[in-house]
């Protein structure tokens, strides 16, 4: 259009041209202007033109010669395959090996969180209800826990902290990492080793009437070893005189006050939370509320998550939306205890009484096991 205006100014006679003639002259001048602006055959091509962009502006002559760096993707693949086919067989194998050994892009960026050493550990006690506490608290969205007992601080300490860390689940910065190994509470080296890992570690101890706990411990062992001696034979050195065998592990674990003294050498009492194994059965929501407070978590696990299973005599988690059935502990939990002579039970209560009283005084709470 600019060319037409210039033409009308330079040639005054242009107004004498008829409409049709004027249009023809205008189109001719527009073509001349286009050729002047885009020399060398650089004609605009459609966006779906398969010709590589490096050839579109290089002129028609360059299209007769296609260097490898300026081939279309399809031509490049054909050229590469032809070159490889022309190589000796040994060279082809080496080329294939290089391709196979080329590492794929790292996938770590697709995983959320990091594996961290635990912020909290359920350290005891065996047959106190530790598995129930772990299963109940891990439904909290801000808690991630190792699924199995690691036994790092009692059996696998020589493997090192990095091995221990590798057993932990991936957690976000705001989440609590936990693990459970109840034998830690009665392991002499465990408090020192955990303190060496982190003095800030929070400890949870699930305690239970030591007499009931000992009978439960024996019942579990008997299910695995049917030829085990009787409970009385193992619990007493001399039952007629009421002399208890403190070396038997089932008895020794219940001496909570003695074990706690060892832990208090490395951790303040405020860093240890005690869960009542009895109240965990009668009021699981209440006990879990206190555990959540201790861990600094919002109270999300509440009574709406539990129901009492009368067959097992134990609380279970209600059916989650993603499951077809409720979540109860395994068959080994809530099993019927072996019947023990009433006199033996009273003798054990007399034995444990002073240790229990001392334990109540140490933790500032009466568990009412008498």
Which residues are part of a known binding site for 3'-phosphoadenylyl sulfate?
127-131, 208, 216, 333-337
- The continuous run of DSSP H or E covering 15 comes out as none
- Neighbour-count burial of 76, counting CB atoms closer than 10 A to its CB (0-12 exposed, 13-18 middle, 19+ buried): middle
Q: Write down the domain spans for the chain.
A: 114-363
Beta strands 243-244 and 272-276, pairing class: unpaired
Q: What is the pLDDT of residue 370?
A: 80
Distance CA 184, CA 121 (A): 9
Q: Taking a C-beta distance cutoff of 8 angstroms, is the pair 208, 128 a contact?
A: yes
Mutual angle of helices 256-263 and 342-363, in 10-degree steps: 30
Asked if 185 and 255 count as a contact pair (C-beta separation under 8 A), the reply is no
**Residues with catalytic annotation?**
127
Residue that the structure tokens 């490898």 belong to? 68
Q: What is the pLDDT of residue 57?
A: 41
CA dist 144 → 43, 114, 177, 322 (Å): 64, 11, 5, 18
Confidence at residue 30, expressed as pLDDT on a 0 to 100 scale: 65
3-state SS, one letter per residue, for 91-113: HHHHHHHHHHHCCCCCCHHHCCC
pLDDT score for 99 = 44
User: Per the structure block, which two tokens stand in for 280?
Assistant: 């965990």
Q: Which of 79, 83, 1 is nearest to 34 (CA)?
A: 1
| Tens-digit pLDDT string for the chain (370 aa) | 554 444 455 445 445 445 555 556 566 666 665 555 555 444 444 444 444 444 444 443 433 344 444 444 444 444 444 454 555 554 454 444 444 444 444 444 447 899 999 999 999 999 999 999 999 999 999 999 998 999 999 999 999 999 999 999 999 999 999 999 999 999 999 999 999 999 999 999 999 999 999 999 999 999 999 999 999 999 999 999 999 999 999 999 999 999 999 999 999 999 999 999 999 999 999 999 999 999 999 999 999 999 998 887 889 998 765 655 667 876 655 668 899 999 999 999 999 999 999 999 999 999 999 8
Find the angle CA(265)-CA(128)-CA(299) to the nearest 5 degrees.
85
> Partners of 238 in the beta sheet?
243
Q: 370, 351 in Cβ contact below 8 A?
A: no
- Distance CA(182)–CA(123), nearest Å, equals 5
d(CA 162, CA 181): 18
Cα distance from N-terminal residue to C-terminal residue, the chain: 107
Please enumerate, by residue number, every residue annotated as part of a binding site. 127-131, 208, 216, 333-337
Identify the pLDDT of residue 48: 46
Domain 114-363 CATH superfamily? P-loop containing nucleotide triphosphate hydrolases (3.40.50.300)
In angstroms, the CA 203 to CA 190 distance is 12
In whole angstroms, give the CA distance from residue 98 to residue 366.
Answer: 70
Mode of pairing for the β-strands spanning 176-180 and 120-124: parallel
DSSP label at residue 209: -
Q: For the chain, what is the largest distance between any 2 Cα atoms, rounded to a whole number of angstroms? A: 141
The pLDDT, as a whole number, for residue 45 is: 44
């Amino acid at each position: 259009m600019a060319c037409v205006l210039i033409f009308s100014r330079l040639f005054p006679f242009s107004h004498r041209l008829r409409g049709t003639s004027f249009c023809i002259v205008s189109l001719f001048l527009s073509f001349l202007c286009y050729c002047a602006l885009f020399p060398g055959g650089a004609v605009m091509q459609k966006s779906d033109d398969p010709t590589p962009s490096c050839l579109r502006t290089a002129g028609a002559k360059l299209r007769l010669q296609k260097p490898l760096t300026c081939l279309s993707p399809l031509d490049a693949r054909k050229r590469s395959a032809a070159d490889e086919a022309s190589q000796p067989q040994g060279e082809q194998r080496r080329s294939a090996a290089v391709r196979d050994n080329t590492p794929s892009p790292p996938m770590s960026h697709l995983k959320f969180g990091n594996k961290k050493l635990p912020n909290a550990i359920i350290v005891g006690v065996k047959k106190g209800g530790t598995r129930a506490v772990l299963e109940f608290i891990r439904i909290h969205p801000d808690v991630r826990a190792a699924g199995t007992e690691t036994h790092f601080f009692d059996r696998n300490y020589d493997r090192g902290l990095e091995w221990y860390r590798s057993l932990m689940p991936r957690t976000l910065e705001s989440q609590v990492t936990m693990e459970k190994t109840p034998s830690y509470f009665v392991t002499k080296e465990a408090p020192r080793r955990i303190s060496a890992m982190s003095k800030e570690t929070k400890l949870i101890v699930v305690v239970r009437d030591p007499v009931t706990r000992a009978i439960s411990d024996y019942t579990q062992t008997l299910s695995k070893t049917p030829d085990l001696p009787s409970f009385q034979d193992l619990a007493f050195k001399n039952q007629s005189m009421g002399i208890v065998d403190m070396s038997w592990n089932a008895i020794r674990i219940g001496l909570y006050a003695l074990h706690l003294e060892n832990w208090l050498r490395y951790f303040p009492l405020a860093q240890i939370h005690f869960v009542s194994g009895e109240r965990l059965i009668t009021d699981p929501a209440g006990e879990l509320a206190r555990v959540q407070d201790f861990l600094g978590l919002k109270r999300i696990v509440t009574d709406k998550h539990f129901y009492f299973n009368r067959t097992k005599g134990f609380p279970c988690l209600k059916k989650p939306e993603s499951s077809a059935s409720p979540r109860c502990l395994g068959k080994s939990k809530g099993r019927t205890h072996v019947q023990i002579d009433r006199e033996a039970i009273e003798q054990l209560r007399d034995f444990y009484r002073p240790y229990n009283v001392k334990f109540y005084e140490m933790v500032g709470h009466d568990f009412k096991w008498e």
